[in-house]
A and B are shown apart, each in its own frame.
Chain A
Amino acid sequence: KRYKTNVEILKPSTTCLEPVLAIQNNFNKGFQMWKCVELFQQYITTDINNLILHGDDLNVQLGLQPRMRPPCGLSRLQHDLGFQTTLNFDYLYFLFNIQYIKKGTIKNTMIHRGEWTEYLFKIECDTLEQLHYYIKSSAMHGMKNWTVEQKKNFFTFMFKYVIGPNQTRYIDTTMAAKLLCNVVALTTCPKMSRFSICFANFLFKNVSVHKCINLDQWKVFVDFSTFINEDCSNFDSNDAWPIIYDDFVEWMQKGKSDRMVCM
């Protein structure tokens, strides 16, 4: 039995990378490649061709461990762009877009020199200020017109970003919940953001039961938030949803999802 798809027909946008902005014109003439490369040079550390995020840095940012060594390139870039925490939709959206240029492959937290120049050339930014402005304004449209597939790609990216270099197959439940309420909840999809807050609450409260989330469970959230009604009336636990969603729906229907403000 296949479930009936009740997907809202999304406009097939050719690309999600280039929201045409009026403001962009101002920068058009001034783009200079050397400035762009110089910017990249500022943030390289050991590896001269890649901007790297260490697992340590991520943990430090999330307050999981004290800082032991100077922040790495990507971490500094994030700070200089004005993002206090790495779990920020605008910032992740920017990283995702840089990597998404190489279509299909989603790597983890690393920006290659080529990607950097290519992307900055495309959006014609060569200073931090321009870049900051561009990120802020493009993220406003984030996810609005995405297809399910694009959303899934973004989810996969987030997952791999959080895993970082330590190649595990799953992320902590707390981490997933933080991603949900700090990143997914801020997207412009109303249903998805409502679900994500609920789901984050559920995860926070059931950390002991569900200790970690794997990529499959994480990605299915996109399907879940797309196909399931807000009152979960069309949810059937006999369908192929992972167990955690069965539990989630049961939890919601028990009325436990009182509007707890997420952390």
Chain B
Amino acid sequence: MFKKSAPKINAPKSEIIDTTESWTLLFTAIQQIFSNECSNLSYEELYRTAYDLVQQRHGESLYDNVLECLKYRVNTIVKRILKPLKDGDHGLLRDVTTEWENYSLAVGMISNVMMYLNRTVVLNNPDDYSPISALGFILFRENAIKGSEVGDRTRRQVLQLIQKERDGETVDKMLIKGSVNMLNKLSCYEQELEGPFLTSSSNYYANLSQSLVDASSVPEYLRIVKTKLKEEAFRVQYYLLDPTKQKIEQIISEEMITNHLGTIMDSTSSGFGIMLRDDKISDLKTQYNIFAINPSHIKELIKKFRSHVASHGLSFVNDEQITKDPTLFIKNLLDLKRKYKHIVKESFDANPLLSTALDEAFRQFADGTVQSRMAEYLSLYLDSLMRSNEQDQDQTLDDVIDMFMYLKDSDVFENYYKTHLSKRLLSSRNMHQTVESQSCTEKVFVTKLKLECGYQFTSKIEGMFNDVRLSRIAMDQFEKTNKSTLGLDFYVNVLTHSFWPTYDPTTLILPHQLKQCCRAFQEHYDSVHNGRRITWQPNLGDGLVIANYPNGSKYELLCTTSQICILDCFNACEANQVWSEEELSSTTGIPIRDIQRQMTPLCSSRHRVIIKDENGYCWNEEFKHASTRLRIAAISTKETTQQVHQTESKIEMDRKPIIEAAIVKIMKSRKTMYDNQLIESVVTILRPTFVPSPIEIKKRVESLVEREFLERDEKEQSLFRYLA
């Protein structure tokens, strides 16, 4: 079964047409279109005529004819534009844009008429022919813009207008915009206008900056640069093309910043350094924003910032006047840090690169190399902070932690911190209460330390807190059974040996009453805990002594246990009996050099409980003081040079086993290793705590070789082997 085939549609029989007649028709139409008299044209007819011509293989000649027509038209336009030369180029832009608009409209219409030509001939030979509309543009570009003076003069005119606008005159922005659009349509904007525009801008800004830079201060200059950048941005937005924006910014940055970088950075009256010094937040922000255009400027900014902060800090750290008072010194240093942090945050957009630069700069002077007592001072500052009882010091503590992180050798800080902490913990009666509350400043600080340095670093410190807490409980138990027999208010802190700083064994001979208390506690403790050994450290304690003077006055003296022992000597004797240092030493068991240290606060002009003369000490019968309660025990202060040396050597000693442990740890896993690899690994392992010197590591290796943990290879002198 076959479907009935669909009726065939035949193409209308094309008549043979007269080409000359057809072309004449089209030609007249084109002329009418150009002269804007196209309202009564029949486009259907025109289109069909063009269609027929192409159908009958006259496409090529039609194309050539249209081309000739367009070319002629362009030439006419050029002549028309260039004619009224007498009144200068003033009206030129208007003429050019109007002519261009008419021309492009006409070309569009012609292109519509020649649609079929576009679709066939042009499409089949894209190499030889262009679509009519494009052809019209090409002809205009080649013949009018490039081929005649029109292009040059248009450009000159536009640049002149821009210059006028820069100088503050009002210009017809639409006119420029029209020209720019024309050039853009003709795809010769970059070549014809943008390039020359950039060149002239570059000259303009070179001259401008030259005249400005000497006349104005740096902040003023930067503000002008900022305004100029804004103006150019508006210009681009109004009548230029978007890609130009970045280029013109680069030119301004190049001409106005790069060429005057030295002045901006180093000007001694108002340069970058001065702005930093005077906290010119908004000026610095301006500078940062301008510099952000060019990565190399930012790099320069960072470099300068780093060296400025470092030199500021160095001058500070080296100033002996400031370092005299550790607390003030650290306080100033923290202020310094805050100042620059603020600048980075507010002016520099919190750029992480600049934050890093700030850290690097601080590390240069605050890592303990320049000021070797940095760690001690920091801990002292913390000590004063903790004692001040102020609430809400979270921010300050954060800053202290920051400073701590700059330190090269964290173990030095740990050492001082523990010493000072132990004094705080032991000196305060109510410490166990504070320790139990989570929010106390001490606890907060330890938590922060833990966050930064890990559990290991703080475990001993937490142990110290725990000891104080447990002691309270132990004392409660003890008091329950012994309270009645003691006759004294007696309190003992039980300290775990390995958590606390190491103390020298004491030789102090306690007064009889105290000795009894100690014995009672020892008995109690031995009965509760089996196998624990108690070593008494009475010199760490303090106590309240009530002094009853013969004249009836009564004072309460808060002093250290050693001082109590010394005062006890005077208890039994006559008012004018003189005790020499040697006698005191033999009675109390305190070494002579310590006697003087303990006596100083007692004899000081503030208290004068004891009178010192050339023969020795005797007690002051006429002692008078405004308050009845006196605090005599000294608080922790800056160490003397001798003590610093002691601490240094103590830390040195403490480090030895740590280094050796690291060496053994490495060698245990590696079995054999070359000397320099070993040193490298040890430094890597220990870096968070301290940076050991290669010499010290070498010494430790030698010591381990001597003790037969390691051996030197018989053949290769720099190879070490682990001996299991």
Residues of A whose CB lies within 8 Å of any CB of B are 1-3, 148-149, 152, 169-170, 214-217, 219-220, 223, 227, 238-243, 246
Contact = CB atoms under 8 A, between A and B. Distances in A.
Given A1-B676, A239-B675, A214 B706 contact: yes
B712 A2 contact: no
B702 A238 contact: no
A170 B706 contact: yes
Contacts of A2: 674, 716, 718-719
B706 A152 contact: no
Contacts of A214: 702, 705-706
B186 to A, nearest CB: 69
A216 B675 CA distance: 14
A234 B720 CA distance: 21
Given A2-B718, A169-B706, A239-B718, A216 B674 contact: no
A216 B712 contact: yes
Interface stretch (B200-208, B562-570, B693-701): B693-701
Contacts of A246: 695
Which 3 A-B pairs rank lowest in CB-CB distance, beginning with the nearest? A240-B675, A240-B718, A223-B717
Contacts of B718: 2-3, 239-240
B707 interface: yes
A153 to B, nearest CB: 9
Contacts of B715: 148-149
A148 B711 CA distance: 17
Contacts of A216: 702, 705-706, 711-712
Contacts of B711: 216
Contacts of A220: 712, 717
A85 B443 CA distance: 71
6 contacts: A1-B674, A1-B676, A216-B706, A239-B675, A242-B702, A246-B695
Nearest to B695: A243
Contacts of A227: 717
A57 B719 CA distance: 38
A238 B716 CA distance: 15
Contacts of A241: 717
B714 interface: yes
A95 B698 CA distance: 34
A52 B68 CA distance: 128
A4 to B, nearest CB: 12
A2 B699 CA distance: 20
Contacts of A239: 675-676, 717-718
B707 A238 contact: no
A149 B674 contact: no
Contacts of B716: 2
B714 to A, nearest CB: 6
B421 to A, nearest CB: 36
Nearest to A239: B718
A50 B698 CA distance: 41
Contacts of A217: 702
B698 A243 contact: yes
A148 B714 CA distance: 9
Contacts of B698: 240, 242-243
Given A1-B674, A242-B702, A243-B699, A149 B714 contact: yes
A108 to B, nearest CB: 17
A246 B699 CA distance: 11
B695 A169 contact: no
A246 B714 CA distance: 20
A246 B695 CA distance: 10
A152 B675 contact: no
A149 B714 CA distance: 7
Contacts of B719: 2, 240
A130 B470 CA distance: 82
Given A3-B718, A152-B714, A216-B712, A240 B706 contact: no
A41 to B, nearest CB: 38
A136 B702 CA distance: 37
A169 B705 CA distance: 10
A162 B76 CA distance: 119
A253 B717 CA distance: 23
A245 to B, nearest CB: 10
A81 B664 CA distance: 48
Contacts of B706: 169-170, 214-216
Nearest to B711: A216
Nearest to B676: A1
Given A240-B674, A240-B675, A169 B707 contact: yes
Nearest to B705: A216
A176 B707 CA distance: 19
A41 B719 CA distance: 46
B716 to A, nearest CB: 7
A171 to B, nearest CB: 12
Interface in B674-714: 674-676, 694-695, 698-699, 702, 705-707, 711-712, 714
Nearest to B699: A243
Contacts of B695: 243, 246
Given A1-B674, A1-B676, A240 B705 contact: no
Contacts of B699: 243
A56 B707 CA distance: 26
A3 B719 CA distance: 11
Best-surrounded residue of B699, B707, B717 (most CB of chain A within 10 A): B717
A227 to B, nearest CB: 8
A103 to B, nearest CB: 15
Interface in B550-565: none
A104 to B, nearest CB: 12
A100 to B, nearest CB: 16
A220 B675 CA distance: 14
Contacts of A152: 714
A23 B616 CA distance: 88
B676 to A, nearest CB: 6
B705 to A, nearest CB: 4
Contacts of B675: 239-240
Contacts of A240: 674-676, 698, 712, 717-720
A212 B182 CA distance: 95
B715 to A, nearest CB: 7
A122 to B, nearest CB: 26
Nearest to B703: A214
A94 to B, nearest CB: 24
A169 B719 CA distance: 21
B717 A238 contact: no
Given A1-B676, A241-B717, A246-B695, 20 more contacts: A1-B674, A2-B716, A2-B718, A2-B719, A169-B707, A170-B706, A214-B706, A217-B702, A219-B712, A223-B717, A227-B717, A239-B675, A239-B676, A239-B718, A240-B719, A240-B720, A242-B698, A242-B702, A243-B695, A243-B699
